Amino acid sequence: MGRPRNFDEAEVVRRAADLFAARAYDGISVDDLVTGLGVHRHSLYRTFGSKRGLYLAALGWSSEHRIAVLAERMAEAGDPYELLGGPLRDEALGPGLDLLLLALVERAPQDREVARIVAESFALLDGVVGRALGAGGGPGVESGREGRVATGVAAALLGLRALDRAAEPAVDAPAAGSALLRGLDRR
């Protein structure tokens, strides 16, 4: 099997999640990964099998450590109208949303494993939104009007994050999130 691993695998996966959150999957070469992660190319192959293997590990880590934490914080938010604003202002957890967004757009349509991890992450957000909006139930896409509203609001979080990533955002994304929830509440 060659040399034993001489790097911290968990740390490499965390940093890979940051790299994949910042740029398109096809825009990151193995050279970029070798440079950005400071790990020898052959070690990367030995440990993760392929660029996709590393990507899946990074996406899974992000779902477990960033999206899950984000969902917990959303669940604890005192002001229900700030349900979307809080995550949008959270710089530490933002890359988790970015990676989820990029994975959803880029890789999920062609890679079932990516689609599965994305669905798990989305179910966490969806479940929190559903409970906050009074739809009840656990995580996952729920049936019925409330469930569909929760899915729509959770999807809006990703859209607002995308708008917020612009170099000079044309909208105040947290305020738009808050306005969306107030608008829904009046119906």
Partner 1 sequence: MAQVGIDGDSLVVEIEGLDKLWALKSRLVIPLAHVRGATADPGIAREPKGIKAPGTHFPDVITAGTFHRDGERVFWDVHDASRIVVIELADEKYARLVVQVADPQATVALIESAVPSR
Indicate the residue among 112 and 145 with the shorter CB distance to partner 1.
Answer: 112
Q: Which is nearer to partner 1, 3 or 145 (CB)?
A: 3
Site for partner 1 in 46-65 (CB under 8 A): 46, 48-53, 56
Q: Work out whether 34 is an interface residue with partner 1 (CB under 8 A).
A: yes
Tokens matching residue 106: 């880029």
CB of 60 to partner 1, least distance (A): 12
Number of residues in contact with partner 1, rule: CB under 8 A? 22
Q: Kindly state the smallest distance separating residue 38's Cβ from partner 1, in Å.
A: 15
Residue numbers 104-123 binding partner 1 by CB under 8 A: 110-113
Q: Is 139 helix (H, G, I), strand (E, B) or coil?
A: coil
Round to whole Å and give the CA distance between 186 and 36: 48
Given 3-state DSSP classes, what are the helix, strand and coil percentages for the chain, each rounded to the nearest 5?
75, 0, 25
Does 14 help bind partner 1 (rule: CB under 8 A)? Answer: no
| b/e code 133-157 from CB counts within 10 Å (16+ = b) | bebeeebbebeeeebebbbebbebb
Is residue 2 at the binding interface for partner 1, with CB under 8 A as the rule? Answer: yes
Where on the chain is the footprint of partner 1 (CB under 8 A)? 1-3, 29-31, 34, 41-42, 45-46, 48-53, 56, 110-113
